[in-house]
Amino acid sequence: MSLLPDPADLRAIADRIAAHATGTRSRAHALGRATAESPWRGTAADVFGTSAAEVIGELRRAAARLDDAADALRRHADRIGEASALTLVEHEITHGVLSGAVGGALSLLGL
Amino acid sequence: MGGVTVDGGTGGITAHCDDLRTLARRLGEVSADTLHSAWSLHGYLAQPVLLESALLDPVGFATFEADLLLALDGLHGLTPIGLRAAALDLELRAAATAYELADHLASDAILGAIELPIATQAASLALARTRDPLGAAEQVVALDPALADTIIDGLGVPGLLASGARSLPDGHGVARPLGADTGASTPPRRLTDVVADLDRRNADGHHGAVDVRILTLADGSRRAIVDITGTKSWSLGPTSDVTSLTTNGRALVGLRTAYEQGVLAAMRAAGVRRTDQVMLVGHSEGGMVAVTTARDAVTSGEFDVTHVVTAGSPVGLTVGQVPRQVQVLALENTRDVVPHLDGRANPDQRNVTTASGARGDGTVGGDHSVHDAYLPLAGDVQTSHDRSVHDFLTGADGFFRAERVVTQTYQVIRTY
């Protein structure tokens, strides 16, 4: 059993974060549609429209940031994968060299 | 052209508050979902698999953690956005409540308690000056229609009329066919045509005269317009004349009437189908009957009444009972005392638009007349840019696009 972190677990987390980003975009879209379709008109409605537009814009930017975080985690998972593979190779090599040395020594001793 | 004041309808206070609350609800959902999302995502920051991975790639781990923290709790992160949406939700709900409170404070119920002594004094002064009760009432109405409602309600006029009418036998209404009206062969194209047709039937010598017009559109679909004429009899006793005061008293408070039975019978006799959209149009008492007929026909499912137009009708106590899918346009001449006999302003509802303007010739009869007051007022309303009026007329568009019309006339009479 390996004690190294599994990159697949990290990528699964990245996918869930990306799903939250998609949900956030959907909420921004739904709020934009509700605001546009509202029959409410007038100065107060205009003021509200400005505030709602800011919230919608911020939701979209937050969704983009979540995507950035998901991408950063995927890159991290790639590097963990590479590091794990390297560690495994080193382990194999070390294990092979040691096994060879021990075997050689034993044969020299005639055992 | 006279000025038109519009209350209620899709541009009214109630519709306005509904719109605010709909938006507030949407913002509340966005807030709750966004905050829940932020809360869930915070959990990933300390996942064991991530913490373990930090030993192998500390820079990559730190980059991810910084990105996610910024997306969640940064200046424009999910958490502050969720809180801001919640604040907007609360603001909108507070605004809707404030609008309704202001409207309620301005309503007759509140004004009545404050202004009744003043209103009574104003009416008394006008009466002393003119020695003409109706003339005094008209002066007060012209001066301040809301004040007239206050006076009439304060004097208990609606209750007196209703209790008097309840004690009188109303009998049963039947529709006697008068034949086809070949003179009414042009389909209506606008609101004024509809009111002009009502005026034409109203001028009929028959008391309780009713038109049922079957309109056929280019696509073969049908509409029906029913004209219901007003009071012609001032009798308080039992009479076959269905327009007598018994009907007025009962319809004023929303009781079923023999006149309504007769109107429904006329619609059946003329062949109005359950699938035909129906517009009921009534003057004065006819408008009151139109409102109760719409309520009962839609509730029973017998007819698809979609629109009601009243002219000079006191419907403040009853029009709120009309199902929401029925759009009502109430025309009220501000100089006419009759629409104030209910002592109550029409409710502000999405489906009830009250359009008021000053028309008529300054006499009691002229100010209540379809021809002299309500036909010109309909013209004013037709050209109004008010949203509630526009939405009503747009919704009634099918009634103004017919290619053919066949008009049957009836006289509703009361039997015992």
What does the domain layout of chain A look like in residue ranges?
Answer: 7-108
Higher pLDDT among residues B270 and B150, named by residue? B270
For residue A72, the tally of other CB atoms under 10 A from its CB is 21
Higher pLDDT among residues A3 and B171, named by residue? B171
Taking the C-alpha atoms of residue B263 and residue B284, their distance in angstroms, rounded to an integer, is 15
Question: Is B10 in Cβ contact with A20 (below 8 Å)?
Answer: no
Option in A24, A39, A62 nearest B19 (CB): A39
Predicted confidence (pLDDT) at residue B204 exceeds the cutoff of 60 = yes
How far does A85 lie from chain B, in Å, by closest CA?
12
* pLDDT of the residue at B66: 95
Taking the C-alpha atoms of residue B31 and residue B80, their distance in angstroms, rounded to an integer, is 10
Predicted confidence (pLDDT) at residue A60 exceeds the cutoff of 90 = yes
Q: Choose among B324, B294, B325, B298: nearest CA to B309.
A: B294
Degrees, nearest 5: CA angle B213-B323-B308: 30
Question: Is A39 in Cβ contact with B61 (below 8 Å)?
Answer: no
Question: What ipTM does this complex have?
Answer: 0.79
**B16 chain-A contacts, CB cut-off 8 A:** 40
**A25 chain-B contacts, CB cut-off 8 A:** none
How far does B251 lie from chain A, in Å, by closest CA?
34
Question: Is B33 in Cβ contact with A62 (below 8 Å)?
Answer: no
Taking the C-alpha atoms of residue B395 and residue B390, their distance in angstroms, rounded to an integer, is 8
Predicted confidence (pLDDT) at residue B65 exceeds the cutoff of 80 = yes
pLDDT band at A31, cuts 50/70/90? very high
Predicted confidence (pLDDT) at residue B366 exceeds the cutoff of 80 = yes
Q: Choose among B209, B211, B294, B286: nearest CA to B252.
A: B286
Question: Is B16 in Cβ contact with A40 (below 8 Å)?
Answer: yes
Handedness of CA B193, B198, B200, B203 (dihedral sign): negative
Taking the C-alpha atoms of residue B65 and residue B393, their distance in angstroms, rounded to an integer, is 59
pLDDT band at A92, cuts 50/70/90? low
Residues in a beta bridge with B183:
none
Q: Which residue has the tokens 């966005």?
A: B30
Predicted confidence (pLDDT) at residue A55 exceeds the cutoff of 60 = yes
Give Dmax (Cα) for chain B.
Answer: 103
Q: Is the pTM of this model over 0.90?
A: no
Report which residue type is found at B51: L
* pLDDT of the residue at A78: 95
pLDDT band at B11, cuts 50/70/90? confident
Option in B23, B57, B85 nearest A38 (CB): B23
Predicted confidence (pLDDT) at residue A15 exceeds the cutoff of 80 = yes
Cβ contact B34:B85 at 8 Å? yes
Q: Choose among B289, B356, B313, B358: nearest CA to B138.
A: B358
Predicted confidence (pLDDT) at residue B381 exceeds the cutoff of 90 = yes
Four-way CATH pick for A7-108: 1.10.287, 3.30.70, 3.30.300, 1.10.3470 = 1.10.287
Q: Choose among B103, B5, B4, B10: nearest CA to B349.
A: B10
Instruction: Please report, in angstroms and rounded to a whole number, the separation of the first and last CA atoms in chain B.
Output: 47
Predicted confidence (pLDDT) at residue B265 exceeds the cutoff of 50 = yes
Q: What is the mean pLDDT of residues A29-54?
A: 87
For the record, the structure tokens of B323 come out as: 């199902």
Q: What is the mean pLDDT of residues B318-333?
A: 97
pLDDT band at B152, cuts 50/70/90? confident
* pLDDT of the residue at B115: 56
**A80 chain-B contacts, CB cut-off 8 A:** 53, 56-57, 60
A 31-70 residues with CB < 8 A to B: 31, 34-35, 38-41, 44, 48, 51-52, 55, 58-59, 61-62, 65-66, 68-69
Option in A10, A59, A83 nearest B50 (CB): A10
Instruction: Write the CA distances from B150 to A67, B72, B116, B155, B293, integer angstroms.
Output: 63, 58, 6, 8, 27
Q: In the predicted model, what is the mean pLDDT of chain B?
A: 89
Question: Is B56 in Cβ contact with A40 (below 8 Å)?
Answer: no
Predicted confidence (pLDDT) at residue A49 exceeds the cutoff of 70 = yes
Q: What is the mean pLDDT of residues B337-360?
A: 92
Predicted confidence (pLDDT) at residue B162 exceeds the cutoff of 80 = no
Predicted confidence (pLDDT) at residue B78 exceeds the cutoff of 60 = yes
For residue A95, the tally of other CB atoms under 10 A from its CB is 10
> Quick one: angle between helices B145-154 and B157-166, nearest 10?
50
* pLDDT of the residue at B285: 97
Q: Which of B87-91, B112-116, B206-210 has the lowest mean pLDDT?
A: B112-116
Cβ contact B256:B283 at 8 Å? no
pLDDT digits (tens, 9 = 90+) for B221-230: 999 999 999 9
Q: In the predicted model, what is the mean pLDDT of chain A?
A: 84
* pLDDT of the residue at A95: 63
Cβ contact B380:B3 at 8 Å? yes
Predicted confidence (pLDDT) at residue B138 exceeds the cutoff of 70 = no
* pLDDT of the residue at B19: 85
Cβ contact B38:B79 at 8 Å? yes
pLDDT band at A1, cuts 50/70/90? very low
